[in-house]
Amino acid sequence: MNLPTFLGGVHPPEGKALTENKPIENLFPNEPEEFIYPLSQHLGAPCAAIVKKGDRVLVGQKIADSEAFVSAPIFSGVSGVVKEIAPRMTIPGSLDPCIVIENDGKYEKAPSLFEELGRNPSPDQYVKFVRAAGIVGMGGATFPTHVKLSPPKDRAIKWIIINGAECEPFLNCDNRLMIEEPDEILKGLEYVLQIFPQAQGVIALENNKPEAIKILTERNANSRIKIMPHKVKYPQGAEKMLIWSVTGQEIPQVPALPADVGCIIFNTRTIWQIYQAIAHGSPVTERIITVSGDAVNNPKNLRVPLGISVKDLIVECDGFIEDPVKVIAGGPMMGLAMRSLDVPVVKGTSGILALSKKLAYLSEESACIRCGKCIEACPIHLEPTKLDHLVRLRDYESFEAHGGMNCIECGSCAYSCPASRHLTQSYKAGKAAINAKRQQAAKAAKEAAAKLEAEKKVEQKVEVKN
């Protein structure tokens, strides 16, 4: 069978077998312990705390919010007392402002979103519910979902694509969710299709999830929804790859967005949250996490309240077989390496992986031999080795001219490089340098404009005086 796919990409070892047949288990600790909620769990403006030290909070109670459009409120995953609002270590390894809640183990629920927004919302109210529920891209990108649901008026949305590809090795949280709660996902998609009456719904998965494909196909009764298996290849779940293989369209170069080609993409868990928000008025208070890797004793798929410590997850999985060299939040291709396990789970944490020395990538760089494997691997069709060279020369202008800003940081090039060049690291540095430069230029332009304005005013005053 000729399954849809894209050009480029790599085939990393899947590692899915460790957890693919393990049903989701609940982990809701009853002992008093700290649950930590960073004020920034999404792309966009950080939130401000709306509770204070000593307040009692309930499960699903809003504890932080922001006025900004590109932002999403944060909810407590446990009931208990606010212990403090202070900087704590988070997954990226930095100290960020956090709300610390002492869990009382009762899991008392706060009133649903319906109390505030009314029951049985109509489709034009859905976006408001999504915003109120604090939904962000749960696959890890954490882009606020209500922003995606509000595309510019001149963009006709023709495709709503549910990303169930889960192309990252080891992860199974989306796979298990599709197997165990297919109806919620289908209904969530139906809600979104009601917002966009012209759109076709697609659930895209990789062909290595036969159980999920079967169950979704059986349960789907809606002619506007299509279940679409794809070839197994990393990074099938990247936005640009998915749009290309589902619709045959290429997203123009940066800064174009999926909406520019009539597409909106949601992660499986995101669409599940949309269902929960609209059908039950529930906000984002928990998530499913795959705890896996070759250094974990008993890999599992866990449903946990947000804010729980990563250490608790590891303990629940019976600890480590051997000391891991790396512990990663997310998948091994794009995830973040953590420096401590005393960090909280946030909305975008899809997996916790502990890798042994055997698997973790630690090899030393050697010279590029121009083999072209990175060019073959790049799903965006860049020339990674050339871009790497330009970044090392700090020639950011040429980096940009050769399309460096289009890099999606999927890691395919670095994965396949025989010389172990730290290619992805280079592009991250190059992109950061260019973004910093742009911000600086924008700031300078703003200041110059302000200065000009001030001078004009002075001149006018002088003229008036004269």
Query: Minimum CB separation from another protein for residue 462, in Å?
Result: 50
Query: Minimum CB separation from another protein for residue 245, in Å?
Result: 12
Q: Which residue has the tokens 């070839």?
A: 231
Question: Which of the stretches 69-77, 145-153, 270-278, 353-361 binds another protein when contact is defined by CB under 8 A?
Answer: 353-361
Q: Are strands 159-164 and 200-206 parallel, antiparallel or unpaired?
A: parallel
Give the footprint of another protein on residues 249-288 (CB under 8 A).
250-253, 256
Nearer to another protein, 63 or 414 (CB): 414
Query: Minimum CB separation from another protein for residue 253, in Å?
Result: 5
Q: What DSSP letter does each residue of 107-134 carry, written as one string?
A: -PBPP-THHHH-SS--GGGHHHHHHHTT
Nearer to another protein, 77 or 140 (CB): 140
* Cβ proximity of 82 and 104 under 8 Å: no
190 Cα distance to chain centroid: 22
Residue 301 found at the interface with another protein (CB under 8 A): no
Per-residue DSSP letter, 290: E
Distance CA 137, CA 217 (A): 24
# of chain residues touching another protein (CB under 8 A): 67
Give the footprint of another protein on residues 381-420 (CB under 8 A).
381-383, 385, 402-403, 406, 409, 411, 414-420
Cβ-based neighbour number of residue 340 at 10 Å? 12
Give the footprint of another protein on residues 180-239 (CB under 8 A).
none
Nearer to another protein, 65 or 168 (CB): 168
Across the beta sheet with 95-103, the strand order is 34-38, 95-103, 80-89, 56-57
Distance CA 118, CA 191 (A): 17
Distance CA 88, CA 97 (A): 6
Question: Which of the stretches 213-221, 265-273, 365-373, 438-446 binds another protein when contact is defined by CB under 8 A?
Answer: 365-373
Q: By 3-state DSSP, what share of the chain in percent is helix, strand and coil, each rounded to 5?
A: 35, 20, 45
Segment holding 179, helix H or strand E: helix 173-180
Question: Which of the stretches 17-25, 30-38, 269-277, 331-339 binds another protein when contact is defined by CB under 8 A?
Answer: 331-339
From residue 66 to residue 105, the character string flagging contacts with another protein as x (rule: CB under 8 A) and all else as - is ---------------------------x------------
Nearer to another protein, 75 or 399 (CB): 399
Distance CA 12, CA 185 (A): 28
From residue 3 to residue 42, the character string flagging contacts with another protein as x (rule: CB under 8 A) and all else as - is -------x-xx-----------------------------
For the record, the structure tokens of 442 come out as 């924008």
For the record, the structure tokens of 240 come out as 């640009």
Residues making contact with another protein (CB under 8 A): 10, 12-13, 93, 169, 240, 244, 250-253, 256, 320, 323-328, 332-341, 353, 355, 359-363, 366-373, 375, 379-383, 385, 402-403, 406, 409, 411, 414-420, 422, 424-425, 428
